[in-house]
Chain A
Amino acid sequence: EPEVTQTPSHQVTQMGQEVILRCVPISNHLYFYWYRQILGQKVEFLVSFYNNEISEKSEIFDDQFSVERPDGSNFTLKIRSTKLEDSAMYFCASSEAGGTGTGYGYTFGSGTRLTVV
């Protein structure tokens, strides 16, 4: 069964450093998402991406965050200057369709645990 692949599985970084989280979405999917989950809290939407641009972003997704699809397969989340409160699990997801087409749900990757020290 096709799956969304995320690397690394665990990243430890010092406060103020830049990190890039990588995702390989399912190959025929067109819509891509990043979510995060702080330990013990709910899964929170960060950003959606379609046709090489951001289609929606949350209040969490401020200027220190950026996303990119540098080639035909990878989808990355960059955090420019990490803060302690960025420590969380970051999940990538992809779907064939967006909006109401997402009615079938979408598949999450296994996640990257980011620890900022």
Chain B
Amino acid sequence: QKEVEQNSGPLSVPEGAIASLNCTYSDRGSQSFFWYRQYSGKSPELIMFIYSNGDKEDGRFTAQLNKASQYVSLLIRDSQPSDSATYLCAVLPTSSNTGKLIFGQGTTLQVKP
């Protein structure tokens, strides 16, 4: 069973639209959840983290967490071509007391002008 699952995409949205990226995880006791953006050939860049159920907003980005459904999502409002990248969901599992993160495969987002 995969620990963190994401649809690999690509997810294609027009410029200005809302992009919705989804992630499910298998470890029910997971503590914290992260969204990283990764441009091709570059390192992951932290966008947001969330650890409480509900929504967390930061500018054009909103992270949503539902621990009962073991589901975390990222909404990007007013999508821009510069948002085109792979979005990685990462989870801090119950078993980790060292900060080890488990990453999903990533969803490729394409924002078309």
Segment 54-113 of B: residues with Cβ below 8 Å from A: 88, 90, 92, 96-106
* B98 in complex: contacting residue of A48, A103, A110, CB < 8 Å: A48
Any B CB within 8 A of the CB of A72: no
**How many residues of chain A are within 8 Å of chain B by beta carbon?**
30
What B residues does A101 contact at CB under 8 A?
99
Q: Of A39-47, A63-71, A80-88, which binds chain B? A: A39-47
Report whether B49 and A105 are in contact in the complex, using a CB–CB cutoff of 8 Å. Answer: yes
Any A CB within 8 A of the CB of B44: yes
Report whether B99 and A99 are in contact in the complex, using a CB–CB cutoff of 8 Å. Answer: yes
Chain B interface, >50% SS class: loop
- Do A109 and B43 contact each other (CB < 8 Å), given the known contacts A42-B106, A100-B31? yes
A65 to chain B, nearest CB (A): 15
Give the CA-CA distance A104 to B90 in the complex, in Å: 12
Any A CB within 8 A of the CB of B34: yes
**How many residues of chain B are within 8 Å of chain A by beta carbon?**
24
Report whether A42 and B92 are in contact in the complex, using a CB–CB cutoff of 8 Å. Answer: no
B30-45 interface mask toward A, CB cutoff 8 Å, 1 = contact, 0 = none? 0110100000001111
Any B CB within 8 A of the CB of A98: yes
What A residues does B105 contact at CB under 8 A?
41-42
Identify the B interface with A (CB < 8 A).
Answer: 31-32, 34, 42-46, 49, 51, 88, 90, 92, 96-106
Identify the A interface with B (CB < 8 A).
Answer: 31, 33, 41-45, 48, 50, 55-56, 58, 89, 91, 95, 97-111
| 19 pairs, A vs B, C-beta closer than 8 Å | A42-B103, A43-B103, A48-B98, A48-B99, A55-B98, A56-B96, A89-B43, A99-B96, A99-B97, A99-B99, A101-B99, A103-B49, A105-B46, A106-B46, A106-B99, A107-B46, A110-B42, A110-B43, A111-B42
